[in-house]
């Protein structure tokens, strides 16, 4: 028998708000977090828009010395983990600290630090490069700093699986609890990669939207007028516990993590295969892991990046898995509001999927005015919808052909 795993705490910083509460209010209101880039001068760039954090005060979560030494992705992780731990009401005791672990995924890590220090190297020479560059840039240091902050001495890891990083982190953490290697895991995903190099590289691939004159309308999953994804930044962290551990301490339980699947396309470094059979296998694997069938799923938080191939092939994969019942499943892409948070997407979207179960509100796919795929499916266009649901799926797919899927369900004793 697999040990049951539940979500007891959630924390997030996103383009829609600097907490889960503010983010969820933005989601329910159909608000876009996309605007003009403020982090650097976009003169000469094809893309001048992104989904940045707004009014985020890092000094609430780190001191001035840490602020100088940490990359933003580490600060976002510490902020989200702090909120998740407070939300859970969990205080780690030294006698069982080795039963608490951390897995935080990141696709890019501290790219901003690397770019900044490279500029210092070129202008001022090697003697002026910061000794804190490597600890600020390594992708695993978000998990490392969170484990230090909370004295979590159990399993620790960093999943680096492109846009599936956050989902893989939560799924792998679930498995660690199921198999008895830990009782509590702090897990999620983060990225803070709105930088000149990152934007110019994605522009070179023609992957980003260039709808600069209408930033809030730029992220348009499943819409015929989409022209690429909108880069975002942020972090989503959940506290996960073995069920009896959570019950024994009287924890509030948001949802149960019922299934996890991961597969590889083994096809192309960036493009999904026709029909996205890898994604279909991944959804089926998550369902099988949770002893479920497609008809059990009420809602899918789609990967839905607002890129032509991803949107088309994800819909085809959903049709493959769900068959005729695909028409009765509610589907939406919250990236239409948050943008694509890269490695942070899976963590934030897992939280939003849990919130749909908790609140009975299905997020909309905003900007979906003229769908060109899934026209016979319920893609929840334009406005959120009230509906009580029991079970929901969160899809994430990434470069390298990686696919990761989580299934959540309302907790029942």
Active-site residue list: 163, 303, 340
Distance between CA atoms of residues 65 and 79, nearest Å = 16
- Name the nearest CA neighbour of 72 among 343, 298, 269, 314: 343
The alpha carbons of the chain give a radius of gyration, in whole angstroms, of: 20
Q: CA 277: distance to chain centroid?
A: 22
Secondary structure letter of residue 273 according to DSSP: P
> In angstroms, rounded to a whole number, what is the distance separating the alpha carbons of residues 153 and 157?
12
Residue 412: other Cβ atoms inside 10 A: 7
Q: Residue 401 region, left (φ>0) first, then alpha (ψ -120 to 50), else beta?
A: left
- CA 160, 161, 163, 169 torsion-angle sign: negative
- The rounded distance, in Å, linking the Cα atoms of 326 and 315 is 9
Give the torsion sign (CA, 78, 396, 90, 181). Answer: negative
Residue of 4, 11, 145, 22 lying closest to 73 (CA atoms): 145
Cα gap 168→396, rounded to integer Å: 9
Mapping DSSP to helix (H, G, I), strand (E, B) and coil, where does residue 251 land?
coil
Dist. CA 384–CA 370, nearest whole Å: 17
Place of tokens 């948050």: 338
Name the one residue in this structure whose structure tokens are 């479920």.
292
Chain Cα centroid distance, residue 351: 8
Tokens coding 305: 């990046």
Q: How many CB atoms lie within 10 A of CB 372?
A: 13
H or E element at residue 234? strand 234-242
- No. of helices (H) and no. of strands (E), the chain: 13, 14
Cα separation, 310 vs 277, whole angstroms: 12
- The torsion angles phi and psi of 238, rounded to 5 degrees, stand at -120, 150
């Amino acid at each position: 028998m697999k040990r049951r795993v539940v979500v007891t705490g959630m924390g997030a910083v996103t383009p829609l708000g600097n907490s889960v509460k503010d983010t969820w209010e933005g989601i329910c209101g159909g608000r876009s977090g996309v605007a003009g880039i403020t982090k650097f001068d976009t003169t000469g760039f094809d893309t001048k828009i992104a989904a940045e954090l707004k009014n985020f005060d890092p000094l609430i979560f780190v001191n001035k010395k840490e602020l100088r030494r940490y990359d933003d992705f580490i600060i976002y992780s510490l902020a989200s983990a702090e909120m998740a731990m407070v939300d859970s009401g969990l205080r780690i005791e030294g006698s069982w600290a080795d039963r608490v672990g951390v897995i935080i995924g990141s696709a890019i890590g501290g790219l901003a630090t690397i770019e900044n220090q490279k500029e210092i190297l070129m202008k001022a020479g090697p003697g002026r490069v910061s000794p804190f560059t490597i600890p600020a840039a390594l992708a695993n240091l978000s998990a490392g700093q969170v484990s230090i902050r909370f004295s979590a001495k159990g399993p620790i890891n960093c999943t680096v699986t492109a846009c599936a990083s956050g989902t893989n982190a939560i799924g792998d953490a679930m498995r660690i609890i199921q198999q008895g290697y830990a009782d509590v895991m702090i897990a999620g995903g983060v990225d803070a990669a709105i930088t000149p190099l990152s934007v110019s590289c994605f522009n070179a691939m023609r992957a980003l939207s260039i709808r600069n004159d209408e930033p809030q309308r730029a992220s348009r999953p499943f819409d015929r007028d989409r022209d690429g994804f909108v880069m975002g930044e942020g972090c989503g962290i959940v506290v996960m516990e073995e069920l009896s551990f959570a019950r024994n301490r009287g924890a509030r339980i948001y949802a149960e993590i019922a299934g996890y699947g991961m597969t590889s396309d083994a096809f192309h470094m960036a493009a999904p295969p026709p029909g996205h059979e890898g994604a279909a296998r991944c959804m089926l694997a998550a369902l099988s892991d949770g002893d479920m069938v497609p008809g059990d799923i009420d809602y899918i938080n789609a990967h839905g990046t607002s890129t032509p191939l991803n949107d088309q092939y994800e819909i085809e994969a959903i049709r493959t898995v769900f068959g005729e019942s695909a028409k009765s499943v509610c589907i939406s892409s919250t990236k239409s509001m948050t943008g694509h948070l890269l490695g942070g997407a899976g963590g934030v979207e897992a939280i939003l999927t849990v919130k749909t179960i908790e609140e009975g509100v299905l997020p909309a796919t905003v900007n979906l005015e003229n769908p060109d795929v899934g026209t016979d499916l319920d893609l929840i266009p334009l406005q959120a919808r009230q509906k009580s649901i029991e079970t929901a799926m969160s899809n994430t797919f990434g470069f390298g052909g990686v696919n990761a899927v989580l299934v959540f369900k309302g907790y029942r004793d």
